[in-house]
Structure 1
Amino acid sequence: MDTKEMNNWRWLNFFEPEANKHLEFPFYKEEIEMWIEHISSQESNHLHLRSTEGKSYICGSLIYEQKLNQQNEYKLLHYFLTEHVLITSEFEQDSHINDDMMEAENAVAGFSILLAEILKNSIKRIDDFELKLNDLLWEIKQKNSIDRLEEIFQLRHEVLVWKNFMIPIIELSFGLEEAFSREIVETKHYKNMRKRLERGSMLTKEYIEEIDHLVHFEEMVSSHRGNEVIKTLTVITTLFTPISAWGALWGMNFTFMPELDEKWGYAGALIVIILSTVAVYMLLVKKGWTGDTLRPKKKNSFFK
């Protein structure tokens, strides 16, 4: 266990219940023991608070690092916080955090520093996500395919993981305001943490909206191309209708077949078929039903 004495508060990191260090805080003895009992089986985000004047505290568990591709690969922070005491377990911090902690006015400010550090690492990874999204944006224009759609939904899952990661921290920040008085909470470090939280939330919201636009865009392209296929099949079917009709008529074995006595009977029949087909095609063109179906595709174009 690592115990640090700050200005007006104490921080117990890598807390070990069997060491009985919590007995040094008899005022919160029952609450800490209940927290210890709960975290022994806790494997997800959880928050509990009490806002009674003179005995306010907040405790729970927080996922502070999450692997993107593995649901069960994460790091969990257990915490118990009062105005003058911060107890954490299994939180791996950088050395510079200790220096920042020394400046904290109280334990709530110190805990805000920890949350700000967690958010900083997360926002850095979100910035890396921005590069992947930008590359995909241009790949869609240059070489769109089903692989691009797969990449879009992979990124969509990733940004939703980040949003899901932010939600418990947002809840925790509101919990701090609910549990403690304004004088205790509204410190410089808490305000910095809130700003960083707002920045992270804004990024995830904007990226989700951008990816939704990409999904909608792909749906439009797919719908347009699907309509082109249907349009092409319709045009082909319509153009071959005269051939099919005349062929069916002349394929009937009636007793009286006048074309058998005509020298140019089949030539005339072919001319009738061709003229009928041309007439149908001209009707389609006049109606504008052929559209872009008969035009070649252009490079770096979505619909042409």
Structure 2
Amino acid sequence: MIHTITKEQEHDFEWIDIEAPTKEELKDAGNTYRLHESHIADLQQHDHLPKVEKLDGYVFIIIRSHAEKTGPQADTVTELTDKVAIFMNEHQVITIHKKPWSVPEMIRDNQLENNDCKTAHQLVNEIVKNCLTTFETQSDKLIKDIEYYEENMFLKNRKASLLQGLYYLRRRVEVTRRVIMLTHEIVDKLDAPDRTNAYTRDTRDLYVKLQSIYDTLFENMNQLVMIYFSISSQRTNEIVRVLTLFSVFFMPLTFIVGIYGMNFDYMPELHWKWGYPGVMILMAVITAAVYAWFKKKGWL
């Protein structure tokens, strides 16, 4: 579906937005607007990462924005992000995307009607900025998720799904961080020394901010996973320690029982009147002695 957002007579450039095109529609658009076949091939790769290049008089950009809805186990580029392709020259901007996208209407109602976008370059800068902003919104949710797992790891009992949730959370942070890192070249092209202005510098500032946020989130997630295994190992060691202490208590008692459990005819103490209570008292004394020794060593 092809939408003409703005015409060249209105803003000195034309903006054409194409949503969910078929292969035939992409081919027709390539012939109509003279788009290079390699760029058309890139459009058909659903998991293509951000890139920017200039060819045949166009600047071709692939930018990714964070998807509005993601599943709890989403951990791939296509599940977490949506792809937007941009073709730009001085008099025309063409955007192509598969899923519904609210940015064209938002920019038209805000920037275009207020005449804030006077050139095609400024328009593309606004598009890239809006795509980056989606990651800023998502970072707040990721921070809350990390805090939730930290609270459950340190303050509450572990849940069976905690490690699985940590895995998918780390994957989301890692994939999003990689997408943002690959957007660096696009921001550099927009904020080139010969084109820099207040708008492009805002986009660069937003990019630097997001890069810092996701680098920190990535480091926190790695530390969180390491802490999880450390705590798991510590709790396992604590369980083994308790079981070892119990076994030490019963070792001498088992030894005594083993001796008197032997069925020999001529064994001392077998016919003593006070043999049974004497053995029970001996066991109690040994147990008390082992307990006192552990207490003195600080093992209990």
Into which bin does the TM-score normalised by the smaller protein fall? 0.7 to 0.9
CA separation in 2, counterparts of 1:239 and 1:283? 11
CA separation in 2, counterparts of 1:63 and 1:96? 17
Q: What's the TM-score once normalised by structure 2's chain length?
A: 0.75
The runs of 5 or more residues in structure 2 that have no matched partner are 20-24
Alignment of 1:265-304 (within 5 A): 265-290=275-300
1:211 matched residue in structure 2? 221
Alignment pair present for 1:86 and 2:98: no
CA separation in 2, counterparts of 1:111 and 1:60? 9
2:70 to 54, 68, 79: 68
**Percent of paired sites with the same residue:** 23
1:59 matched residue in structure 2? 60
2:18 matched residue in structure 1? 14
CA separation in 1, counterparts of 2:104 and 2:17? 13
CA separation in 1, counterparts of 2:260 and 2:158? 46
Shift of the 65–220 alpha-carbon distance from structure 1 to 2, 3 Å rule, reads closer
* SS state at 1:44 partner: coil
Alignment of 1:1-304 (within 5 A): 1=2, 2=4, 3-5=6-8, 9-14=13-18, 18=28, 20-22=31-33, 29=34, 32-35=35-38, 37-39=40-42, 41-46=44-49, 47-50=51-54, 57-66=58-67, 67-69=69-71, 70=74, 71=76, 72-73=78-79, 75-90=82-97, 92-98=102-108, 99-101=110-112, 102-104=115-117, 106-140=119-153, 142-146=155-159, 147-176=161-190, 182-184=193-195, 186-290=196-300
For residues 6-65 of structure 1, give each alpha carbon's deviation from its aligned partner in whole angstroms, at most 9, with x where no partner exists: 65544333286526542xxxxxx5xx23345424533222535249xxx87532433334
- Give the alignment's Cα RMSD to 1 decimal: 3.2
For residues 234-270 of structure 1, give each alpha carbon's deviation from its aligned partner in whole angstroms, at most 9, with x where no partner exists: 1111111111111112222334211123222232223
Contact 2:66-2:138 at 8 Å conserved across structures:
no
How far the C-alpha of 1:288 sits from its partner, in A, is 2.4
For residues 88-143 of structure 1, give each alpha carbon's deviation from its aligned partner in whole angstroms, at most 9, with x where no partner exists: 22364243412425433543332111010112233223223434444554455553
Paired residue type of 2:216: E
Q: What's the TM-score once normalised by structure 1's chain length?
A: 0.75
1:298 matched residue in structure 2? none
CA separation in 1, counterparts of 2:208 and 2:238? 45
Paired residue type of 1:11: W
> How many residues are treated as equivalent by the alignment?
275
Contact 2:15-2:93 at 8 Å conserved across structures:
yes
The runs of 5 or more residues in structure 1 that have no matched partner are 23-28, 291-304
Paired residue type of 1:168: L
CA separation in 2, counterparts of 1:261 and 1:40? 96
- Which shows bigger deviation, 34-43 or 270-279? 34-43
